[in-house]
Structure 1
Amino acid sequence: MLTGSLVGKVALVTGAGRGIGREIAIGLAAEGMAVGLLGRTQQTLVDTLKECVRHGARGVAVTADVTRPGAVREAVRTVERDLGPVDFLVNNAGQVDSTEAPLWEVDANQWWQVVETNLRGPFNLMRCVLPAMVERRHGRVLNLNSGFALRPDGRYTAYATSKGALLQLSDNIADSLAAHHIVVLDISPGAVATDMTAGMPMFAETTEWGSIPYMVAVVVDVARGRFDGMHGRFIHADRDNLGELVARAEAIREADARTLRLRPYGPDDPLA
């Protein structure tokens, strides 16, 4: 019997076959949401779906590559047909550079594959999901982002560039979405032990990881609307005092904080 706080709502989670995407999908199902699961491997999606169904939730698993617009379009149609309109989109699917290397030494094809997955993927999903949200004047979009979006890193140029661009994309669409009562947020889970993160050489000696259950709880709160006041902004779940962010959301918006902005070198900077 579903007794959760999100009964009757529909979520679509990308990269739902494993890692944090799988746990997010199961966590949303436990709160009563119907869950559309999107990923590239059918068996892992089915395994996630079985766990969601154990919570009494409805769900559907759809294989698709998020970088391919046609596949995404058909996947969204399947989710909407089987479950109903999407209330909550979680753009979780992602890739990271295969090696720690300077730009001039990377595999160019793999570099662009990372950018496509991390930026074009969310674009494709939003392009398909947002029209119905706009029509209903309701919806929430969560982009799983990273602290790499905020600082340069010469070892993971594709990942850092794509995450910075994703944060900028959210910023660029925030005002137009607000006019239709749709919330977009970018949240970094921090360093959590997934196959992707654990395989990065920079984390080879890491023994203390961020909490995936905590991140799942944060995502559930996003679905509930707890962080709507931070619309269009960046949250670092592993470092932020989330209660303080919620309390200061209005001041954060007025200060135009938690967004990517060029910092002028002084009052004489023409771009100040």
Structure 2
Amino acid sequence: MPSGSLRGQVALVTGAGRGIGREIAIGLAAEGMGVGLVGRTHETLTDTLKECARHGSRGVAVTADVTRHGSVREAVRAVERDLGPVDLLVNNAGQVDRAEVPLWETDPNHWWQVIETNLRGPYNLLRCVLPGMVERGRGRVVNLNSGFALRPDGNYTAYATSKGALLQLSDNIADSLAGHHVVVLDISPGAVATDMTAGMPMFQDMKTWGSIPYMVAVTVDAARGRFDALHGRFIHAGRDNLEELVRRAEEIREADARTLRLRPYGPQDPMG
């Protein structure tokens, strides 16, 4: 049952016209947040906006291409003009490789388009939203990431590379943001049924999908600050015991765990 616990705050959600982004936006609206909806298709964004409005939430829908900095800059300005400063940024917009093929058989243009959407897109949003958060000394960022960031996959090289780079980006900015009380988290929903996963051959026989409502609940908890102690880390909503992660947050930080690191081959490894 929604509690209105986030009333008075503002979220900006990319890829909010469908799939996980749509459901996250509606879930945040149900908790009282004003929602800035950003995506490429006006019709789907408008439909999401109507659903958010049913919860009494203020909202604005802005069409933008996340790979274009100017487009993102204007979208952020529109959201902040109509709703106020952004308290929570959800970088959800993403693409995946069109076919399961090795790198030497990929379409070069589409391969780079995936990289731009999944990495340049979040960068553009961060570049436009973080200055305000830093100035105000508060804010939270949730990057929708994937288990592909943590393991090699020869058939989805663009997607896996972009998600690994996104996780590394979060790690690179975490220390500098901590001094300004801005939290960044990379959260994977696991394999959930969306238009994107429906087109991935590896999931064609999938019977049991992860829960989108659970991912929405995790994002709401992130907005509330439940995972602030895991700042700069990777969370897998589909597999993790979140209570355990929160309980062991100090240990995780001390061990530099849940980050991308080079594994030494032994005690004599100079990179160890």
TM-score range, shorter chain: over 0.9
Q: Which amino acid aligns with 2:183?
A: V
SS at 2:134's partner residue? helix
Corresponding residue for 1:24?
Answer: 24
SS at 1:260's partner residue? coil
Corresponding residue for 2:13?
Answer: 13
SS at 1:120's partner residue? helix
Corresponding residue for 1:61?
Answer: 61
SS at 2:60's partner residue? strand
Superposed, 1:154-193 pairs within 5 Å as: 154-193=154-193
Shift of 1:3: 4.9
Shift of 1:49: 0.1
Q: Which amino acid aligns with 2:11?
A: A
Corresponding residue for 2:125?
Answer: 125
Shift of 1:70: 0.2
Shift of 1:123: 0.1
Corresponding residue for 2:4?
Answer: 4
Q: Which amino acid aligns with 2:113?
A: Q
Q: Please say if 1:262 is aligned against 2:271.
A: no
SS at 2:12's partner residue? strand
Q: Which runs of 5+ in 2 are unaligned?
A: none
Shift of 1:198: 1.4
Structure 1 residues 118-160: Cα deviation after superposition (integer angstroms, max 9, x where no partner): 0000000000000000000000000000000000000000000
Shift of 1:56: 0.2
Q: Please say if 1:50 is aligned against 2:38.
A: no
Structure 1 residues 98-133: Cα deviation after superposition (integer angstroms, max 9, x where no partner): 000000000000000000000000000000000000
SS at 1:155's partner residue? coil
Q: Which amino acid aligns with 1:62?
A: V
Using structure 2 for the length normalisation, give the TM-score: 0.99
Corresponding residue for 1:249?
Answer: 249
Corresponding residue for 1:228?
Answer: 228
- Return the alpha-carbon distance in structure 2 between the equivalents of residues 149 and 52 of structure 1: 31
Using structure 1 for the length normalisation, give the TM-score: 0.99
- Return the alpha-carbon distance in structure 2 between the equivalents of residues 218 and 108 of structure 1: 35
- Return the alpha-carbon distance in structure 1 between the equivalents of residues 249 and 76 of structure 2: 32
Corresponding residue for 2:111?
Answer: 111
Shift of 1:199: 1.0
Structure 1 residues 150-196: Cα deviation after superposition (integer angstroms, max 9, x where no partner): 00000000000000000000000000000100000000000000000
- Return the alpha-carbon distance in structure 1 between the equivalents of residues 200 and 233 of structure 2: 27
Shift of 1:8: 0.2
SS at 1:163's partner residue? helix
- Return the alpha-carbon distance in structure 2 between the equivalents of residues 262 and 3 of structure 1: 43
SS at 1:60's partner residue? strand
Q: Which amino acid aligns with 1:38?
A: V
What is the CA RMSD across the aligned residues, in angstroms?
0.7
Sequence identity, in percent? 83
Divergent runs of 4+, >2 A: none
- Return the alpha-carbon distance in structure 1 between the equivalents of residues 102 and 134 of structure 2: 42
Q: Please say if 1:147 is aligned against 2:121.
A: no
Corresponding residue for 1:96?
Answer: 96
Superposed, 1:65-84 pairs within 5 Å as: 65-84=65-84
SS at 1:264's partner residue? coil
- Return the alpha-carbon distance in structure 2 between the equivalents of residues 105 and 113 of structure 1: 16
